[in-house]
Amino acid sequence: MNSGVIVMAGASGFMGRRLQEAFRRDGFEVRTIGRGAQNDAQWDDDLAPVLDGADALLNLAGRSVSCRYTKKTADEIFSSRTETTRSLGEALARCPNPPIVWLNASTGTIYRDARDRPQDEADGELGTGFSVSVARAWECELFDAPTSVRKVALRTSIVLGADGGALSPLINLARVGFSGPQGDGDQVFSWIHLDDVYGAVRHIMADDRIAGPVNLASPHPVRNRTLTAAVRRHFAGRLPDRGVPLPRWSLEFGGRVIRTEPELVLKSRWVEPGVLTATGYEFAFPGLDEALADIAKETPRGLLRVQLG
């Protein structure tokens, strides 16, 4: 699928904005669904007309998880994923000419905390806890939706790119000296360059054999201590053996201060891109050093703005 019409839902964030630009650059017509009047449809509208006749649907809707899990924020995280996915499924069922494929965001954190072996789509073990419960419900809404279009759940690992996302706070920490290992430093960090998110989405759209869960992750995850050293090298000019470590207690305290959950850093996410590898996807940035070197070219000096959920 080299051109056509793609509908993007919930695409106003860090990842969505860049994907929109990439699709338009490659000649796609992009229709958007969101909460503002600038979109082709808003969530309270009848969504069927904007979906009808499109070639693909990519749903990225969901409240940021970079926040403290209070009752209010937990409800918002859950409903912003499940209710939007349910609305899209119901709208697709009413379309005379629905898209061929529906790619719906999910998360690699659906798997258990893993330090012993990678977790792929075939034999990965699902975890427990709030984040996993959200991911399970999210995917259930996708796969139980009353439409026969090809459905793909994008179990996305940590997305790395310039000007936002999870990398900005790591860069800020490195630039003020707090760039040593986080926690014990042995937790696995699965990641993917933003360009490979786009590449993988295009690959999935074009290959009608691909359906079900798909892990979006580089084939070369790293330990946390390797990650922090690499961020220090590329963005702070520090030697690999320097940088103040952040033990668990400091991350738990800091999480309260900046209103986020330490789980985002401390959980060991070892996500294996089994489906992408088996179907021949070639990563533009398979290694962390080359990914960070590319991102560094677009990253200004000084502390970066970090937007919390």
Q: What angle do CA 7, 8, 10 make, to 5 degrees?
A: 145
Specify whether the CB–CB gap between 179 and 243 falls below 8 A: yes
Mean of the per-residue pLDDT values for the chain? 90
CA distance 305 to 268: 26
CA distance 33 to 238: 43
Cα-Cα-Cα-Cα dihedral of 243, 248, 249, 254, to 10°?
70
* DSSP H or E run through 107: strand 101-107
Q: What pLDDT, on a 0 to 100 scale, did the predictor assign at position 251?
A: 66
Q: What average pLDDT score do residues 22-37 get?
A: 96
**DSSP-assigned letter for residue 305:** P
Give the least confident one: 65-74, 145-154, 220-229, 289-298: 65-74
CA distance 35 to 128: 31
Give the least confident one: 49-53, 263-267, 276-280, 281-285: 263-267
CA distance 161 to 292: 8
pLDDT surpassing 80 at residue 306: no
pLDDT surpassing 50 at residue 258: no
* DSSP H or E run through 31: strand 28-34
Q: What pLDDT, on a 0 to 100 scale, did the predictor assign at position 165?
A: 86
Specify whether the CB–CB gap between 50 and 31 falls below 8 A: yes
Q: What pLDDT, on a 0 to 100 scale, did the predictor assign at position 41?
A: 97
Q: What pLDDT, on a 0 to 100 scale, did the predictor assign at position 114?
A: 97
114-152: pLDDT as tens digits: 999 999 999 999 999 999 999 999 999 999 999 999 999
Residue 172 has phi, psi (to 5 degrees) of: -60, -45
pLDDT surpassing 70 at residue 95: yes
pLDDT surpassing 80 at residue 109: yes
Helical pair 224-231 and 288-296, crossing angle rounded to 10 deg: 30
Instruction: Classify strands 28-34 and 4-9 as parallel, antiparallel or unpaired.
Output: parallel
Q: What is the DSSP string of 145-178?
A: SS--SEEEEEEE-EEE-SSSTTHHHHHHHHHTT-
Q: Pick the residue with more confidence: 76 or 190? A: 190
Q: Is 122 exposed, middle or buried (0-12, 13-18, 19+ CB in 10 A)?
A: exposed
Specify whether the CB–CB gap between 131 and 65 falls below 8 A: yes
Instruction: Classify strands 188-189 and 222-223 as parallel, antiparallel or unpaired.
Output: antiparallel
- The predicted model scores a pTM of 0.93
Percentage of the chain modeled with pLDDT above 90: 71
Q: What pLDDT, on a 0 to 100 scale, did the predictor assign at position 154?
A: 98
Q: What pLDDT, on a 0 to 100 scale, did the predictor assign at position 212?
A: 98
pLDDT band at 309 (very low <50, low <70, confident <90, very high): very low
165-208: pLDDT as tens digits: 889 888 888 888 887 888 899 999 999 999 999 999 999 999 99
**Quick count: other Cβ atoms within 10 Å of Cβ 114?**
20
Q: How many residues does the chain have?
A: 309
Q: What pLDDT, on a 0 to 100 scale, did the predictor assign at position 70?
A: 77
